[in-house]
C-alpha cells in the first residue's frame, strides 16, 4: 500500500530540512557513519509507513531523531558493542537539537562549548586533517548536508562512481584510523576552517542553482548554508575568509527574487529587475567584503565576494565594470586555479574585451577534463558564437548544453535560445 501524498510530501520536506540534524544526533550515538546513515534511512522509511495511520507529528525532526537513535542503540546491542560505546556516550553526553541532555549531564571536556550546533560540530569533525581535502568536503556534503552522491560528484566535476569510491574510502579511513567524533579544541579549528568553508560554499552553490528538478533554487540548501556561515562568523569573528564567505552568500542570494520571471522563465543579470534585489542583504554583504579585503593578500572567498559586489552595486547591466571583474578574476585564478574559475574569467574577458576574446579564452579550456561534462562551458561558448553571428555553431553549442543540463528552468532557457537560432532541441 502506497503512502498518502500528504505523508510523502511531509517526509520529503523533513528530509530536506531535518536530515542534517537527525544524522548528527545519530552519529553521536553510533560513532559509525555507515550505521548512523542506515539508522536514519530506516527512520525515514518508518515515517512513510506509519505517519499515514498515526498522523504527521508536530515535530517531525524530533520524531525522526528518536526513531533513528533507538534503531542505532538496538543495532549496537545486537552487535554486542554497547559496552564499548557506553564510555564515549557518557563522556560526551547525548543531546537533542535544543541542547538539553537526555539521561545525563551536559558534556564537559575539550571543546564542549566551542561549536554550539550539532551540524557545524560534525562538519568540523568530518573535516579532520587525517583525511584528504577532497575526502573531507565530499564526505561532509554527502552525509551531513544531505546531498546525493550524484550531486556531490557534480559539485566536484567528477563521475558519480569516482565520487562513490572516494566517499567509501573516507568512511573506511575514519573507522580504521579510529578518528574520534569529538568537538575540536579551539586551537585545532584553524587547520579545518578552509575545508569547512569549502563545504558551506559548495552547499550554497548546489542550492543556488539546483543540479536537477523543476525549481531553479533549492531554498533549503541556501538557508542551511547561510545559517552555517553565520554560525562560523559568530565562532570566528576575526577570520577574513569567514567574512568573505558570508558576504559571498549574502550578495549572491540577494539577487534570487529577480532570477525567475512570473511565468517561470530564467532571467539573466541583464534582464533582472534590480529593484527586487534584497537591499539589506546587499548592504550587509558589501560591508563584509570591505572587512575581508583588508587582509593582504585577500583570500579566495574575499575575491569571490568582491566579484559579487561589483555586480550587485552596478546600477544597471550596461554600467557593469567588466574590466574590474576581469582584473578580480585574474587575481582569483592565480590564487585558486580551478577550471570553473577559469571559465568564469573567460566569460568576464568576453564582456570586457569582446566575444572573440571570450571565445578564445573558453577554447583554451576545451581540453580540461573536469569541464568535459560541464554544461555551462557549452552554454557560454554558444552565447559568444551567437553574438559573433556564427549561428550554426551556436546551435550546436546550445544542443550540447541541453544534453548536459538537468534543471528544468535552465533547460527551458537553453531551449528558447536554441529556438531563436533556428535549431530544434
Residues 191 and 202 in one domain: yes
91 is a domain residue: yes
62 is a domain residue: yes
Residues 51 and 158 in one domain: no
Average pLDDT over residues 38-66: 91
Sign of CA dihedral 359, 157, 148, 223: negative
134 is a domain residue: yes
Question: Domain ends where: 37, 61, 96?
Answer: 96
pLDDT for the residue numbered 266: 97
Residues 253 and 177 in one domain: no
Question: Domain ends where: 189, 205, 237?
Answer: 237
Res 225 pLDDT > 60: yes
**Residue 273 burial (C-beta neighbours within 10 Å; 0-12, 13-18, 19+):** exposed
* Grid coordinates belonging to 178: 579510529
326 is a domain residue: no
Sequence-ordered list of residues with C-beta below 8 angstroms from that of 385, at least 6 positions apart, any chain: 355, 359, 391, 393, 394, 397
Residues 232 and 126 in one domain: yes
Closest CA to 94 of 149, 218, 86: 86
Closest CA to 231 of 114, 401, 140, 353: 114
Residues 257 and 194 in one domain: no
Per-residue pLDDT of 148-162, as tens digits, reads: 888 888 878 888 999
Residue 321 · residue 327 · CB < 8 Å: no
The CATH number covering residue 91 comes to 1.10.1740
Question: Domain ends where: 185, 210, 237?
Answer: 237
Domain count, the chain: 3
The helix or strand, by DSSP H or E, that contains position 212, with its residue range, turns out to be strand 212-213
pLDDT for the residue numbered 116: 53
DSSP character at residue 101: B
Residues 159 and 230 in one domain: yes
Q: Distance between CA atoms of 275 and 244, rounded to whole angstroms?
A: 24
- Length of the chain in residues, anyone? 425
Residues 257 and 222 in one domain: no
Q: Distance between CA atoms of 50 and 3, rounded to whole angstroms?
A: 9
Per-residue pLDDT of 173-221, as tens digits, reads: 887 877 776 667 778 888 888 888 998 998 899 899 998 889 999 998 8
Q: In the structure, what pLDDT confidence band is assigned to residue 226 with cuts at 50, 70 and 90?
A: very high
Per-residue pLDDT of 356-405, as tens digits, reads: 999 999 999 988 988 988 999 999 999 999 999 999 999 999 999 999 99
* Residue 78 C-beta-side C-alpha neighbours within 13 Å: 8
Q: In the structure, what pLDDT confidence band is assigned to residue 17 with cuts at 50, 70 and 90?
A: confident
404 is a domain residue: no
Burial pattern 158-173, b for ≥16 Cβ within 10 A else e, equals beeeebbebbeebbeb
405 is a domain residue: no
pLDDT for the residue numbered 399: 96
Res 99 pLDDT > 70: no
Which of 21-30, 236-245, 340-349 comes out lowest in average pLDDT?
Answer: 21-30
- Give the range of the structural domain holding residue 285, as residue numbers without chain letter: 239-320
- Bridge pairing between strands 212-213 and 406-407: parallel
Residues 145 and 233 in one domain: yes
Residues 156 and 265 in one domain: no
**Residue 328 burial (C-beta neighbours within 10 Å; 0-12, 13-18, 19+):** buried
**Cα–chain center distance at 307:** 19
Q: Distance between CA atoms of 208 and 179, rounded to whole angstroms?
A: 33
156 is a domain residue: yes
Q: Distance between CA atoms of 34 and 36, rounded to whole angstroms?
A: 5
Residues 176 and 252 in one domain: no
Average pLDDT, whole number, for the chain?
A: 86
How many CB atoms lie under 10 A from the CB of residue 99? Answer: 11
Q: What pTM value is reported for the model?
A: 0.80
Res 104 pLDDT > 90: no
Residue 40 · residue 19 · CB < 8 Å: yes
Phi/psi for 115 (5° steps) reads -115, 115
237 beta partners: none
Residues 210 and 131 in one domain: yes
377 is a domain residue: no
pLDDT for the residue numbered 95: 33
How many CB atoms lie under 10 A from the CB of residue 406? Answer: 15
Residues 88 and 182 in one domain: no
Amino acid at each position: 500500500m502506497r503512502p498518502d501524498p500528504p505523508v510523502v510530501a511531509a517526509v520529503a520536506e523533513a528530509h530536506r530540512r531535518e536530515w542534517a540534524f537527525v544524522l548528527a544526533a545519530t552519529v553521536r550515538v553510533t560513532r559509525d557513519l555507515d550505521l548512523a546513515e542506515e539508522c536514519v534511512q530506516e527512520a525515514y522509511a518508518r515515517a512513510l509507513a506509519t505517519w499515514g495511520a498515526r498522523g504527521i507529528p508536530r515535530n517531525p525532526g524530533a520524531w525522526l531523531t528518536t526513531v533513528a537513535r533507538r534503531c542505532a542503540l538496538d543495532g549496537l546491542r545486537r552487535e554486542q558493542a554497547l559496552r564499548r560505546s557506553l564510555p564515549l556516550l557518557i563522556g560526551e553526553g547525548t543531546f537533542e537539537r535544543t541542547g538539553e541532555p537526555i539521561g545525563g549531564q551536559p558534556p564537559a571536556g575539550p571543546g564542549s562549548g566551542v561549536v554550539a550546533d550539532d551540524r557545524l560540530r560534525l562538519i568540523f569533525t568530518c573535516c579532520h586533517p587525517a583525511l584528504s581535502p577532497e575526502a573531507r568536503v565530499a564526505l561532509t556534503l554527502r552525509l551531513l548536508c544531505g546531498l546525493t552522491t550524484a550531486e556531490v560528484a557534480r559539485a566536484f566535476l567528477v563521475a558519480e562512481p569516482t565520487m562513490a569510491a572516494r566517499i567509501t574510502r573516507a568512511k573506511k579511513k575514519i573507522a580504521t584510523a579510529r578518528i574520534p567524533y569529538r568537538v575540536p579544541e579551539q586551537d585545532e579549528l584553524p587547520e579545518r576552517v578552509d575545508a569547512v568553508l569549502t563545504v558551506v560554499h559548495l552547499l550554497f552553490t548546489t542550492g543556488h542553482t539546483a543540479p536537477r528538478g523543476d525549481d531553479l533554487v533549492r531554498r533549503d540548501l541556501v538557508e542551511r548554508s547561510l545559517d552555517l556561515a553565520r554560525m562560523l562568523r559568530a565562532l570566528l569573528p576575526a577570520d577574513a575568509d569567514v567574512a568573505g564567505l558570508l558576504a559571498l552568500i549574502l550578495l549572491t542570494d540577494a539577487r534570487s527574487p529577480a532570477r525567475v520571471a512570473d511565468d517561470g522563465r530564467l532571467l539573466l543579470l541583464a534582464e533582472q529587475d534590480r529593484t527586487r534585489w534584497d537591499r539589506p542583504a546587499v548592504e550587509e554583504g558589501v560591508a563584509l567584503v570591505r572587512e575581508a579585503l583588508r587582509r593582504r593578500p585577500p583570500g579566495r572567498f574575499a575575491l569571490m565576494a568582491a566579484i559579487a559586489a561589483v555586480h550587485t552595486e552596478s546600477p544597471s547591466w550596461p554600467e557593469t565594470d567588466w574590466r574590474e571583474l576581469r582584473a578580480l578574476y585574474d587575481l582569483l585564478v592565480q590564487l585558486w586555479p580551478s577550471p570553473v574559475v577559469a571559465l568564469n574569467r573567460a566569460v568576464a574577458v568576453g564582456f570586457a574585451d569582446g566575444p572573440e576574446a571570450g571565445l578564445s579564452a573558453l577554447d583554451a579550456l576545451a581540453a580540461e577534463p573536469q569541464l568535459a561534462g560541464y554544461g555551462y562551458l557549452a552554454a557560454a561558448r554558444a552565447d559568444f558564437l551567437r553574438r559573433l553571428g556564427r549561428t550554426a555553431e551556436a546551435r550546436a553549442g546550445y544542443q550540447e548544453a541541453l544534453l548536459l543540463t538537468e534543471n528544468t528552468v535552465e533547460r527551458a532557457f537553453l531551449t528558447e535560445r536554441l529556438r531563436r537560432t533556428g535549431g530544434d532541441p
